Amino acid sequence: MNWVFVPLMALVVGASACGAKGEITLRRADDARALGCLERRDAATCALACEGRIPGACTMRGRIAEKGSATEQPDPASALAWFDKGCTLGDGAGCNAAGSIAARGKAGPADQTRAYRYFEDGCARGSPAACANLGLVHQLGDVVPKNEVKAIELYERACEGGDPGGCASLAYLYQYGIGTTRNEPRARELDEGACRQGIIRACANLATMMAGGRGGEKDAARAVELWRVACDSGDLASCSNLGVAFESGLAGPVDLVNARTLFRRACDAAIVEGCVGWARVLEAVQPPDRPAAARLYRRACQAGDRDACAAWERLRVVLETAQEPTPPTPP
């Protein structure tokens, strides 16, 4: 965290030597409280430092309130108030934290407009993470008119400032040519760096590019490794991709047992590709379970997957011809 130590202004112009000495003592006391807050992360110490107008201390006090401690339960509303105070005093990280609470509705109804204002203030006050969040607001266009060029500018600023999430968002736009010319080598480079810093979506996208040899050399083994990391970290689309790797032999010998487990995990989380993969495996095993496969194709079809609709129709004909139970026609 960037700590901002704001010196207190003298109340009287041309103060006496005695007055100047008192001001210096007060500054040193505030600095000591701020350091105590940083080192001990004690709620009372941080509150005192915040009252002494130390912006970073207000933000730290907010983080304690947000996460809770041995002496207090998590309190998002209190956290928002502390973050707001830190933001008002000039701490960009406080602005970003306040915006995140407002956007997610953790302290009342979600308020995207209020979040946007916090992110705007935070970015202006030097928070790379706030610039990344502000970029997302411009990319989505829900609060302000969609402006992907502006989003790229903000993601660049966030990434250059050291925010790996901003780098991952920038990589996505380069990967698909959104708001700029497609540049897969640049996307791959950005995702590589963001993945090393723990951004799971960057690892997942990097794996997809490596599996297909996009933006650089093909590296199936590394792609499988990254999908495994992303899947284990909760990225269920990566679980589906890892299932494809086991199904196709990209991960080594074909392993339909592991593929089925991974597809089912993804499908249960409403990942359409997982449902389709699970259906394929059910058709491929011996003996095949065509009725169950048909139900899964139907489910994916209802979610808008046209290929799944074609597979459902194909399998329905097979079941009718074989006089096996046929799932009902999707609406």
Which of 122, 188, 204, 200 minimizes the C-alpha distance to 161?
122
The per-residue pLDDT for 326 is 53
Tens digit of pLDDT for each residue in 37-59?
877 788 998 999 999 888 999 99
Contacts of 25 (CB under 8 A, 6+ apart): none
The per-residue pLDDT for 26 is 36
Tens digit of pLDDT for each residue in 234-264?
999 999 999 999 999 998 999 999 999 999 9
In a domain, 273, yes or no: yes
Is 224:245 a contact under the CB 8 Å cutoff?
yes
The per-residue pLDDT for 11 is 28
In a domain, 142, yes or no: no
Tens digit of pLDDT for each residue in 10-45?
323 323 233 333 333 334 555 666 677 877 788 998
Q: How confident is the model at residue 325 (pLDDT cuts 50, 70, 90)?
A: low
In a domain, 121, yes or no: no
pTM of the complete model: 0.82
- Cα 226–Cα 137–Cα 187 angle in degrees, nearest 5: 35
The per-residue pLDDT for 38 is 74
Taking the C-alpha atoms of residue 65 and residue 59, their distance in angstroms, rounded to an integer, is 10
The per-residue pLDDT for 59 is 94
In a domain, 214, yes or no: no
Q: How confident is the model at residue 9 (pLDDT cuts 50, 70, 90)?
A: very low
Domain that holds residue 307: 262-331
Sign for the CA dihedral angle at 234, 240, 245, 246 comes to positive
The per-residue pLDDT for 322 is 76
In a domain, 324, yes or no: yes
Q: Contacts from 22-25 at CB under 8 Å and sequence distance 24+?
A: none
Secondary structure of 77-134 as H, E, C letters: HHHHHHHHHHHHCCCHHHHHHHHHHHHHCCCCCCCHHHHHHHHHHHHHCCCHHHHHHH
Taking the C-alpha atoms of residue 175 and residue 83, their distance in angstroms, rounded to an integer, is 35
The per-residue pLDDT for 159 is 98
B/e letters for 36-46, b = 16+ CB within 10 Å, e = fewer, are bbbeeebbebb
In a domain, 32, yes or no: no
In a domain, 254, yes or no: no
Tally of domains in the chain: 1
B/e letters for 68-82, b = 16+ CB within 10 Å, e = fewer, are eeeeeeebbebbbbb
In a domain, 98, yes or no: no
Q: What is the mean pLDDT of the chain?
A: 88
Is 102:114 a contact under the CB 8 Å cutoff?
yes
Taking the C-alpha atoms of residue 328 and residue 330, their distance in angstroms, rounded to an integer, is 6
323 or 195: which leads in pLDDT? 195
The pLDDT > 70 percentage for the chain reads 87
DSSP, collapsed to helix, strand or coil, labels residue 175 as helix
